[in-house]
Amino acid sequence: MKRRSILRGALVAGLAGPGLAAALTTTRTEIDAALTAHDRAVGLDHWESTAERYGHGYHGQAPADVLTDLLAEFGELRPLLIRPGTDRDRTILAHVTGRMAGMVAVVLHDLGQHRESHHWSATAARAAERSGDRDLHAWVLAREAMVPLNFGAPAAAAG
């Protein structure tokens, strides 16, 4: 809970601050490292429903609040990503990570943090690919491709 309060305070203070940028980068980097670690852990029903809930949008919350909550969730999920588990566990955790990292990318984009959004999209794509869920992988790639289209750069979207 303390981590969530710190993140919320950082977001209120401003998204461009070095503290938040460091927290975003550290969280994303640790998730990336965990995706390449050995087998994963159990306790997955909660995480599947958590990822599903975030996949339905903001639910009237401010984007900064959603981002704070997502980063706090990753703080709780991270230990599960590095514990040994079955191949099935690994696949499910990669799927959860892909969905939630994709939502982090969406929220960051909505907040104007395009560079960090791009990095989180790459993390989401790696997780989606690792999960074997082609629909999730396509969603992540399509969301990322929409950014240059929105800014009038169709050639960049195709690449």
Token reading at 102: 């994709």
Q: pLDDT digits over 107-142, tens only?
A: 999 999 989 999 999 999 999 999 999 999 999 999
- pTM of this structure: 0.73
- Buried/exposed code over 140-154 (b: 16+ C-beta within 10 A; e: otherwise): beebbbebeeeeeee
Domain total in the chain = 1
Q: What residue numbers bound the domain in which 92 lies? A: 2-10+18-158
Q: pLDDT digits over 19-46, tens only?
A: 777 778 788 877 876 775 544 444 688 8
- Picking from 1, 15, 42, the residue whose alpha carbon sits closest to that of residue 104 is 15
